[in-house]
Structure 1
Amino acid sequence: MQNNETQKIKTVPDNYTSITPWIKSPSSANLILFSQGAFNAEEIPNSRIINEEGKLIHAVVSKGNAFVMLFDAREDRAPTPAFLNL
């Protein structure tokens, strides 16, 4: 028997806001350290994903109820101050 109901996809993960800043930097690891020292931000446990080239391709830090997603720039993709994930 097939269910004809359309499954709803959760477009905003639990605990995230509708708009999440996303920063592409030369070194997300250094940006995490800076954010921790300057803003008392906390890295979300197990959020770091490193690719086979050793680049950080995903990490998340939080400050209060806000999340910021981070990833390393690559040679073919320059650093940018921020994106907004809508």
Structure 2
Amino acid sequence: VNHAALTALMDRWRPETHSFHLSFGEMTMTLEDMAMISGLPINGRAITGRVSAVNWRQRAGILIGVEPDAPPAGKADASKVRHSWLKQVR
């Protein structure tokens, strides 16, 4: 990771337009950009549906083939799949 480049980009981010303002013009992130960065596919069926926290780990396992680990003892169980975890198991 190039921290200097990330810092420079963050300084040029404009939340009003959801784009970077660079010396040569505006630059916007596209879905294809995110697919290249994350390595996640953008084609195929969506892995979302009705939102319900009941048995979400099992449902995530059915949809993506890998069930998220349970949280450590004493830690609250958040009903979400972290992007960093998806990148690890892909």
Q: Same fold (TM over 0.5)?
A: no
Q: TM-score, normalised by structure 2?
A: 0.31
Which is richer in strand?
A: 1
For the pair shown, which has the larger CA radius of gyration, 1 or 2? 2
Q: TM-score, normalised by structure 1?
A: 0.32
Larger relative contact order, structure 1 or 2 (CA cutoff 8 Å, min sep 6): 1
